[in-house]
Amino acid sequence: MKVLVTGGAGYIGSVVTRVLIEDGHDVVVLDDLSTGHRDAVPAGVPFVHADIADAGDVLAREPFDGVLHFAAKSLVGESMNRPELYWATNVCGTRHLLDAMRRHSVPRLIFSSTAAVYGEGGPDGIGEDTPPRPTSPYGTSKLAVDLMISDECRAYPLGAVSLRYFNVAGAYGPCGERHRTETHLIPITLDVAAGRRPHLEIYGNDWPTPDGTCMRDYIHVLDLARAHVVALQHARPGHHAIYNLGNGRGFSVREVVAAVERVTGRRVPVTVAPRRPGDPAWLVADDSRARAELNWQPQADLDTIIADAWAFHQQRRHTDGLAGGGTTS
Residue 200 in contact with residue 329, Cβ under 8 Å? yes
Do the Cβ atoms of 4 and 59 come closer than 8 Å? yes
The yes-or-no answer on residue 138 being catalytic is yes
Residue type, 98: L
CB neighbour list of residue 106: distance below 8 Å, 6 or more residues apart: 4, 59, 64, 65, 66, 67, 100
Query: For residue 328, with 0-12 CB atoms within 10 Å meaning exposed, 13-18 middle and 19 or more buried, which class applies?
Result: exposed
**Cβ–Cβ < 8 Å for 174, 304:** no
DSSP state of 23: T
Choosing from 11, 86, 138, 218, the catalytic residue is: 138
Of 89, 13, 77, the closest CA to residue 51 belongs to 89
Q: Which residue stretches of the chain are H helix?
A: 11-22, 55-59, 76-81, 83-86, 93-103, 137-155, 185-194, 221-234, 253-264, 288-293, 302-320
| Neighbouring C-alpha atoms within 13 Å toward the C-beta of 325 | 3
C-alpha to C-alpha distance for 193 and 156, rounded to whole angstroms: 51
Known catalytic residues are: 138
